[in-house]
Amino acid sequence: MQESAESSTPRRSSQDEAETVREATPSPPGPPEEQWREAIRVAESLERSRHGYKVRLERSKTSRSNPYSINRPKASLVSQFLNAAMVNNTELLQNMIDKGFSPNTREPTFNRSALHIAASRGFTDTVRVLLENGANPNIRDLNENTPLHLASCTENMALIELLLKAGTNVTLKDSNGLIALEIAIGKLRLSDRIISKMQKLTKSDIHTHRNNVVKVCEMIFEVFKEQVRRGGLLYLDPSEAAHRYQRRLEEMLEEFEEQLGRIKGRSIDFDAIVDQVENMTIKSEIDSDVNSLLSTLQKLAV
């Protein structure tokens, strides 16, 4: 009986049992899937590398294609830029600045900038272009001159006004310890060279020259007064000593203004200029005025 029951149930082979076990057990990821994932990781890594290379390449191209690079301009371009300032070529200056050239570019010997060069030559248009494009009005050369130090040797009031309005610090001293106002005042002296030059000029020319120099002094002095007063910083030190200093400062400023007014009002005898004896008298009187002016200024500029 038992034997017939067993014979009615179909027997499964060992191969069938093995297939059933494989189907019931979840198989781990096979090699193709792992390779696919690795391929994705490699592709992403390569893409990042390619992107970084492209960025570096573009930067490199930009750097190489810009000869006006501010960090390291070519010597030939520096020369071209400074020569443009030397001949008042504002169009070329603006073009080079627009392409990335620094308006504060200097020459290597005396460390003078384009602004120094233009100011010393009285080129108002060039000075204006440089200042409008961010040139530093207080830039110093090898001898610590600012552009105003050099401009004060000219009679170009429009140029000096540009420098003053641009924020020039008129209390800065050169390597000789002089501020720009002292240099301008020095031009009021009657040196032998100036007297010799005056002998070839008309009376009108002489007075125009001296009036222009006085006006330059007055312009610089107006800004000097403001900056010296701010330098007093009375509002930070309300002590009696600070008040005394401020009063003394105002007295010296007033004294300077009066002395400058006397020089401005002094008339020069045109006929006496050609007389050697009279020359000495006039020169002595004017030099005395100038020395008094400088003495007062030096107290203020300490």
What is the rounded average pLDDT of the residues 77-96?
96
Q: Given a cut of 90, is residue 161 above it in pLDDT?
A: yes
Higher pLDDT, 104 or 261: 104
What is the rounded average pLDDT of the residues 157-172?
96
CATH 1.25.40.20 region(s) of the chain? 75-168
Residue 12 backbone dihedrals phi, psi, to 5 degrees: -100, 140
DSSP 8-state class, residue 106: B
| Residue 10 identity | P
Express each pLDDT in 5-30 by its tens digit: 444 444 554 455 444 434 444 444 45
Please give the Cα distance from 56 to 48 (Å, whole number). Answer: 12
Q: How confident is the model at residue 291 (pLDDT cuts 50, 70, 90)?
A: confident
In words, the CATH class of domain 75-168 is mainly alpha
Give which of 140, 159, 143 is closest to 151, Cα–Cα: 159
Angle among Cα 85, 86, 91 to the nearest 5 degrees reads 40
